[in-house]
Amino acid sequence: MEVIRSIRAMQETVRNLKERAVTIGFVPTMGALHEGHLSLIRRCREENSFVVVSIFVNPIQFGPSEDFQSYPRDLEGDMEKLSALGVDLLFFPDLKEIYPDGYSTYVVVEGLSDKMCGAFRPGHFRGVATVVAKLFNIVKPDRAYFGQKDYQQTVIIKKLVEDLNFDIEIVVCPTVRESDGLAMSSRNLYLNADERKAASSIYRVLKKAEEMVRSGEALERVKEYMENALSTGPLIREVQYASVYHPETLDELTSESLKRSGCREVVLAVALVIGNARLIDNIVVDLTK
């Protein structure tokens, strides 16, 4: 596996690949790789002749009181995993390479970025959209792979690609879970044993909420159930949101607005804080099945 740290070298490599009409698949990550990341990389490996993974902990998507400094980093472990999966190239730029002194251009996907997680993490999706746009310009992939675990992120990136005319196919991959249902996340490392156990309630509540939606329960009742069940759970410090959302606009849905929208899917989504970890999860419910 080749490792490239400079944008210039990356662009040169990409130019050569394009000349040979190689299809480039790309998986952007912040490292501390787990099975969730690896599932994206496997899919990318199957569908493209050249696989690029990036590891970059993007400071501008973290708020001032968030965990940028303490975010888990494990380059050696990550490189072993990437080599074992047959990744062709790791792009691992340092901070100044991506944001040199005097950097001043930002990408904001308006409307979508202030909802759900955006309401609790001001500037987060501006940071995400900016770094993803930059990485897309550097790597110029044919396809880029993202996890459904970060549902809002996938919607924002699809809109970014559409609005800014990136010629890139966005592939969204299913959430990989631990055996008790907890969505894999680099931030699960922050949980102690009791908190880890308590975190498994998130998926149980989502599954029960899915059943309620399927049995025709009013969405207002479903939201009430989710909020109550989570906020009374042990060790859960704060439920930031737990509700039913429109899959594209990310607006909260009621039974009435669902009917008017004609949606074939709804998204059940949760963000909460356990111990020092802010965890998110979601289930997309296909209403036609």
Residues that bind ligand AMP (CB under 6 A): 29-30, 36-37, 39-40, 146-147, 149-150, 173, 175-176, 183-186
User: In angstroms, what is the minimal distance from the CB of 279 to ligand AMP?
Assistant: 11
Residues 6+ apart with CB under 8 A from 268: 206, 209, 210, 213, 222, 226, 243, 244, 245, 282, 283, 284, 285
**Among 252, 262, 223, 222, residue whose Cα is nearest residue 239:** 223
Q: Which is nearer to ligand AMP, 39 or 201 (CB)?
A: 39
CB of 45 to ligand AMP, least distance (A): 15
**Is 37 a catalytic site residue?**
yes
Q: CB-wise, 118 or 147, nearer to ligand AMP? A: 147
Q: Which is nearer to ligand AMP, 126 or 223 (CB)?
A: 126
CB-based contacts of 123: which residues, under 8 Å, 6+ apart? Answer: 60, 61, 63
Report the chain's terminal Cα–Cα distance, integer Å.
43
* Contact between residue 264 and residue 276 where contact means Cβ atoms under 8 Å apart: no
Cα separation, 68 vs 17, whole angstroms:
34
Report in angstroms how near the CB of residue 240 gets to ligand AMP at its nearest.
18
Smallest gap, in angstroms, from Cβ of residue 33 to ligand AMP?
A: 8
Nearer to ligand AMP, 153 or 243 (CB): 153
Pairing of strands 265-274, 277-286: antiparallel
Q: Nearer Cβ to ligand AMP, position 126 or 149? A: 149
- Residue of 34, 37, 124, 246 marked active site: 37
- What residues act catalytically? 37
